[in-house]
Amino acid sequence: YPEMKLDLVTEGRMIDIVVEGFDAGIRLAESVPQDMIAVPFNEPQRFAVVGSPAYFADHPKPRTPDDLRAHRCIRLRMPSGRIYHWEFERRGQAASVDVQGMLTLDEPLLVMQAAREGFGLAYMTEWNVAADLEAGTLQRVLEDWTPPFDGLCLYYPGRRHVPAGLRA
């Protein structure tokens, strides 16, 4: 479609794509409004708690989410300003941990870089850390506490007239 023009806007906060004038949006499947049509992008994903080999040389690996309270964790500030609480689940037991640490960032790629540099543990999506895990620059812990969740979806209003570019 050589005549098609794409206007891509990255926005971390939740917006109403209809009110803002967008044809479609991308969100985690669990966050797509019920009156929208959602088209999955990928298979279910998982989160991963990761740290550098240097960090683990000086700190024992946590075995439960409660163990994180004794660790330096890299906190993530959401676009709303809220600090993200790390979420875990195993055998029907759910836990949400407001981790502590000396570093709070608002950009996931900076969180990942800080984890590589040994600043503390990070809570990232597997797709963000897969290459680091394979290369050994990051190590994973608490894997049995991070079950799969539905991944990203393209979503758009369930209206009759779908713009030609989106339809294509």
pLDDT (0 to 100) of residue 141: 98
Alpha helices in the chain (DSSP H): 17-20, 53-58, 108-116, 126-135, 164-167
pLDDT value of position 96: 94
Q: What is the pLDDT of residue 66?
A: 95
| Rounded-to-integer distance, Cα 104 and Cα 89, Å | 24
**Residues facing residue 156 across a β-bridge:** 37
Token duo for residue 130 = 């897969």
At 71 the pLDDT is 97
The pTM (predicted TM-score) of the whole model is 0.79
* Domain edges within the chain: 17-43+150-167, 47-145
**CATH number for the domain whose boundaries are 47-145:** 3.40.190.290
Q: Which of 95, 96, 51, 48 is nearest to 71 (CA)?
A: 51
Per DSSP, the three-state class of 165 is: helix
Q: What is the pLDDT along the chain (168 residues), one digit of tens a residue?
A: 888 888 888 777 788 888 888 888 888 788 888 889 888 887 888 999 999 999 999 999 999 999 999 999 999 998 889 999 999 999 989 999 999 999 999 999 999 999 999 999 999 999 899 999 999 999 999 999 998 988 788 889 876 677 777 877
Q: What is the pLDDT of residue 123?
A: 97
